[in-house]
């Protein structure tokens, strides 16, 4: 039940490889700006000089250690807890013949998982509306779309047609809201699928598909993507009803210099707060599973104990990860964004550094590693997780770079989102269905806690330093990060289809001889005479 030493070391090594690249970029940036450039090089129009202090770097280094350990614990814990819980409940619901019971249980699960998502709490506090209204409305939206996903799996309906219909509805409603609110609408869909939600939904979908069409069915994917649509529609509805315009500026910007003692105090208080929020995240899910298990399933005690231990490991890992990101990574990201936005010349550097942050940020997303591992498992090894991980990283880098460019030139998010999703929908009708399902799931998973607590603060800091409107040009990054993997993964599927067609054409040429197309006419009488 407790992972072996070899498993621990393996996960630690994987986590170290994931966090190391972004650490190297930050440290190089620190040494270059501190020792190779003048002290007032990053001075804004008001005369304020931005820099990375020694205390910031010390806190960042400690945060890296915490993130490596936290990612390892989280990865080990989710494999035997969250993913397993989702798989067991999904398989159990499939076996029930009571339609309304399945619908009600699915809706409750969707709401519970969503309101417990830490990323959603972070975003809801920045919108300018009561955060509880946001959280519960989005929870209901996810619950409803999880029901839609279950019905789709049951009836084996086309996933790309459903995406086309629901996203078309989203785009139609966007014309009736304040344009400044558009980026937050799409960002809400990305942050909902975070470290708690994704492992559960992936296991839930796999459990349902395994009991209906086998583990290789494309129905094992798609739930995460469908559940990302619910928050978009929910926030659109909120903005229409409450006339929300997002006027309030997030309190943590701009960054203020802090001493090392205050930083450690911040870590302590932040960790206590994170422990409470993560307990509210995983606690209701575990309690629901235990009650559901006692009433409907009755799994062996050893398996139940294994899940509880896995949940405890997940809890510790998630606390370490989120505490380190919010305490050590977020201040660095804010300040780097401010520094690179102080002059037009630095904007080009911001594009390159933002791309690197995007590439290395997705490598540090715990849920991304869960998804790519399941891709390889479901495809029986034909889809290599390393290949997909690298493509997701490149897509994430392009998404961040495009977001910085958008902030620099100050044009609307719709100029990216509308053509991007049109291309995604066109590709969805040209590739196997499993690639479409995996692509849309990848978009939701890539926009996890590392994006919302490191890369997003970088872009918001850059927008503030440039003097751009934060809600129009600072937000929207999560939406871009959620869209790019959809295009890239389906492009991989298209490449696979074209490669198969080329291989088939070559095989046919080797089989067909030069004169195979000639028509031979037999003279029956001559043939009989020759035979006689």
Report the DSSP beta bridge partners of residue 49.
43
Q: Tell me how far apart the alpha carbons of residues 311 and 449 are, in angstroms, rounded to a whole number.
A: 19
Whether residue 523 lies inside any domain: the answer is no
User: How many domains does one find in the chain?
Assistant: 1
Q: Burial level of 469, CB count in 10 A (0-12/13-18/19+)?
A: middle
Q: Burial level of 110, CB count in 10 A (0-12/13-18/19+)?
A: buried
Chain-centroid distance of CA 239 in Å reads: 24
What are the φ and ψ backbone dihedral angles of 142, each rounded to 5 degrees?
Answer: -65, -40
Contact criterion met (CB below 8 Å) for 90 and 203: yes
Q: How many residues does the structure list for the chain? A: 532
Chain-centroid distance of CA 340 in Å reads: 26
Whether residue 95 lies inside any domain: the answer is yes
Find the distance separating the first CA and the last CA of the chain, reported in whole Å. 84
Q: Burial level of 379, CB count in 10 A (0-12/13-18/19+)?
A: middle
User: Positive or negative CA dihedral for 25, 29, 30, 31?
Assistant: positive
* pLDDT by position in tens, the chain (length 532): 566 677 778 788 878 877 888 888 889 988 888 887 777 777 766 676 777 878 778 888 888 898 889 888 888 888 788 888 888 888 888 777 777 888 888 898 888 888 877 777 767 766 666 777 888 888 888 899 989 888 887 777 777 888 888 988 888 888 888 888 888 888 888 777 776 777 777 778 777 766 665 444 455 567 777 888 888 888 888 877 765 444 444 434 444 454 556 667 777 777 888 888 788 878 888 888 888 888 888 888 888 888 899 889 989 988 888 888 777 777 788 888 888 888 777 888 899 999 988 888 887 776 687 778 777 776 666 677 888 888 888 999 999 999 999 998 988 898 999 999 999 989 988 888 878 888 887 887 777 767 777 888 888 888 888 888 888 888 888 889 889 988 988 888 888 788 888 888 877 777 655 555 555 555 555 555 555 5
Whether residue 414 lies inside any domain: the answer is yes
Domain range for residue 398? 5-246+261-507
> What one-character-per-residue DSSP string does 329-350 give?
IHHHHHHHHHHHTSSHHHHHHH
Whether residue 254 lies inside any domain: the answer is no
| Burial track 386-424 (b if 16+ CB lie within 10 A, e otherwise) | eebbebbbbbbbbbbbbbbbbbbeeebbbebbeebbeeb
Whether residue 528 lies inside any domain: the answer is no
Contact criterion met (CB below 8 Å) for 244 and 181: yes
Whether residue 526 lies inside any domain: the answer is no
Contact criterion met (CB below 8 Å) for 187 and 470: no
Query: Any residues with CB less than 8 A from the CB of 450 and at least 6 apart, and which?
Result: 325, 329, 361, 362, 364, 365
Whether residue 513 lies inside any domain: the answer is no
Please write down the HEC assignment for all residues of 27-83.
Answer: HHHHHHHHHHCCCCCCECCCCCECCCCHHHHHHHHHHHHHHHHHHHHHHHHHHCCHH
Closest by CA to 188, choosing from 224, 148, 229, is: 229
| Burial track 506-529 (b if 16+ CB lie within 10 A, e otherwise) | eeeeeeeeeeeeeeeeeeeeeeee
Contact criterion met (CB below 8 Å) for 257 and 53: yes
Closest by CA to 471, choosing from 195, 177, 133, 228, is: 177
Closest by CA to 316, choosing from 378, 262, 373, 271, is: 271
Whether residue 331 lies inside any domain: the answer is yes
């Amino acid at each position: 039940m407790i992972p072996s030493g070899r498993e621990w070391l393996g996960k630690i090594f994987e986590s170290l490889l994931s966090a190391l690249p972004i650490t190297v970029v930050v440290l190089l940036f620190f040494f270059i700006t501190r020792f190779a450039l003048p002290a007032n090089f990053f001075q804004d129009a008001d005369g304020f000089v931005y820099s990375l202090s020694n205390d910031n770097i010390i806190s960042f280094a400690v945060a890296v250690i915490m993130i490596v350990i936290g990612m390892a614990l989280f990865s080990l814990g989710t494999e035997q807890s969250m993913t397993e819980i989702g798989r067991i409940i999904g398989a159990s619901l499939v076996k029930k013949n009571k339609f309304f019971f399945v619908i009600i249980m699915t809706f409750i699960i969707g709401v519970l998982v969503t309101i417990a998502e830490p990323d959603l709490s972070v975003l809801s506090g920045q919108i300018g509306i009561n955060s509880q209204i946001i959280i519960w409305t989005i929870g209901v939206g996810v619950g409803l779309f999880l029901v839609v996903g279950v019905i789709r799996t049951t009836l084996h309906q086309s996933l790309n047609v459903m995406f086309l219909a629901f996203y078309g509805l989203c785009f139609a409603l966007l014309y009736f809201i304040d344009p400044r609110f558009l980026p937050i609408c799409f960002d809400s869909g990305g942050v909902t699928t975070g470290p708690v939600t994704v492992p559960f939904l992936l296991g839930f979908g796999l459990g349902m598909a395994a009991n209906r069409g086998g583990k290789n069915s494309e129905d094992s994917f798609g739930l995460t993507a469908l559940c990302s649509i619910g928050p978009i529609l929910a926030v659109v509805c909120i903005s229409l009803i409450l006339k929300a315009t997002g006027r309030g500026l997030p309190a943590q910007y701009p960054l203020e210099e802090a001493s090392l003692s205050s930083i450690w105090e911040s870590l302590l208080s932040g960790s206590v707060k994170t422990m409470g929020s993560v307990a509210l995240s995983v606690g209701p899910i575990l309690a629901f599973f235990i009650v559901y298990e006692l009433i409907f399933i009755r799994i062996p005690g050893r398996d139940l104990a294994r899940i509880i231990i896995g949940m405890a490991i997940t809890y510790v890992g998630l606390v370490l990860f989120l505490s380190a990101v919010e305490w050590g990574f977020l201040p660095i990201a804010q300040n780097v964004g401010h520094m690179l936005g102080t002059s037009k010349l630095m904007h080009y550097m911001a594009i390159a550094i933002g791309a690197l942050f995007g590439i290395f940020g997705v490598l540090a997303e715990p849920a991304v590693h869960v998804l790519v591992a399941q891709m390889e498992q479901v495809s029986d090894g034909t889809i290599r997780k390393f290949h997909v991980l690298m493509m997701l990283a490149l897509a994430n880098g392009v998404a961040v770079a495009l977001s910085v460019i958008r902030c620099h030139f100050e044009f609307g998010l719709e100029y990216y989102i509308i053509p991007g999703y049109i291309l995604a929908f066109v590709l969805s009708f040209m590739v196997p269905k499993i690639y479409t399902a995996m692509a849309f799931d990848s978009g939701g998973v890539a926009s996890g806690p590392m994006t919302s607590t490191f890369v997003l603060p970088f872009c918001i800091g850059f927008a503030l330093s440039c003097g751009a409107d934060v809600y129009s040009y600072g937000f929207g990054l999560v939406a871009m990060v959620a869209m790019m993997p959809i295009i890239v993964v389906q492009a991989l599927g298209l490449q696979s289809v074209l490669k198969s067609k080329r291989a088939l054409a070559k095989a046919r040429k080797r089989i067909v001889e030069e004169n195979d197309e000639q028509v031979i006419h037999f003279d029956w009488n001559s043939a009989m005479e020759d035979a006689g």
